[in-house]
Amino acid sequence: MLELPFTHKPGRRERHLKRRHGNPLFAWPPESVAPEALLEAQRADHEAMEAFDERFRGLVQRAVELPPNAGSDEILALKEDLERHYEQTFGLPEDHAQERQAIGKLIGLIMKAVRLAAGEDPLARRELADEEEARAIHLRLIEQPLVADLLSPELPIGPEELTPVLLSASVTEVEAALELFDADQMTQIAKEGACLVDDRASKGADMTQALDRLALILMRLRSHDQSH
């Protein structure tokens, strides 16, 4: 199998090529990613990072210049843009922890103002608490590269790739990704996974890791069924 110069902290396009490279779950016989395809993915990821950097500087400036008497619509629009940029960092190459920290602080300031505006209204406070809880769960999941890629509209992980992707991922990524699916979807993934593993094993491919991930999916499915 051709050795390719994958980067240490790739963007989402390169990440997906790395998943596919020489992976028997995606094709049989296993296929190498073309070097020119890798270079194109790295170029596109780098361009996405440069575009993000420019938008991020403008977003910070917009937050700094937000007037004290800004209306709720303007404040919430800024919060939504900040959250969207926070999510986008997980699809970029290199490390963007500093940007996430800065965005997190800005969102925290906005939420403090929103809570003050809600006052003692029990309904408004409950809605805010529910929103923050849901947001915390979302942010926890999206820290996993696979989840970030699955939720990205920019990376076309097609339905036919979903099962190979899950069976090839780390345990942590699979556990997080499964929270995106309902019981019917997990059942379909498990059926496709069992057929795929049987087929590749019959051709001589090592399916040890894939079997472990399949067992994890089945365990999550049983746990889901027992809780409903």
Q: What is the pLDDT of residues 112-163, one digit of tens each?
A: 888 887 778 888 888 888 988 998 999 999 999 999 999 988 876 888 999 9
pTM of the model: 0.88
Q: What is the pLDDT of residues 48-72, one digit of tens each?
A: 999 999 999 999 999 888 888 888 8
Going from the C-alpha of 69 to that of each of 72, 73, 160, the distances in angstroms are 9, 12, 50
| Angstrom distance (rounded) from CA 201 to CA 88 | 37
Whether the pLDDT of residue 110 is over 90: the answer is no
Helix, strand counts (H, E) of the chain: 10, 0
Percent of the chain with pLDDT over 70: 98
pLDDT, mean of residues 188-209: 97
